[in-house]
Amino acid sequence: MLIELSDAGKRFNREWIFRGIHYRFEPGKKIALTGPNGSGKSTLLQVLAGSMNLSEGNINWTIHQQSIEADRVFKYLSIAAPYLELIEEMTAVEFLNFHRSFKPLLNNISIEEILQIIGLEKASQKQIRYFSSGMKQRIKLAQAIFSDCPLLLLDEPCTNLDENGYILYRHLIDTYTKDKTIIVSSNDVNEYGFCTDKIYVPDHK
């Protein structure tokens, strides 16, 4: 998927969160949105996801040279973010099956294999409400990374993860996202160190 921003700006009331961004998010690229907390990284990510409108400028999404309307962009992306909740009454298996009914998973991999990969096979039948915060983050990453979508959006993807969780995160990125466009919102280089391009959001005020 190609995303093009032209003179893009977003404000809340009279305060500009960012302004004057011109950028092409090329297919297959890995791009980091960086800056301190409150600098507008998550807001820009939500604009790129089509879930928030710009205040000025334009954004265009295309795939295979076909334009995509903003209200259809969700079909082509998956996202993991701290502000997106899990359905905690479900077990891990139920949640991934539910998610799969909306977004297909990568070919040749089962839910059982996914849970083994993320180290939650022994908790597969446990309600998510009883998971630790780190286990919940592993499930969030799994539903995003293993979705068969060309665009992967990650907002502070290692929230609540320990050292082993960081290692798992890099393994998932290196192994299962090679052909995806990835945009990471973070101020932690351990979360976006694999990215080849970087946008420092405070430069666009």
pLDDT tens per residue across all 205 residues of the chain: 999 999 999 999 999 999 999 999 999 999 999 999 999 999 999 999 999 999 999 999 999 999 999 999 999 999 999 999 999 999 999 999 999 999 999 988 999 999 999 999 999 999 999 999 999 999 999 999 999 999 999 999 999 999 999 999 999 999 999 999 999 999 999 999 999 999 999 999 8
Task: For the domain covering 2-204, report its CATH number.
Answer: 3.40.50.300
pLDDT per residue as tens digits for the range 164-195 = 999 999 999 999 999 999 999 999 999 999 99
In this prediction the pTM is: 0.96
Cα–Cα distances in Å, from 183 out to 53, 100, 101, 129, 203? 18, 22, 24, 29, 18
**Beta-bridge partner residues of 80:** 154
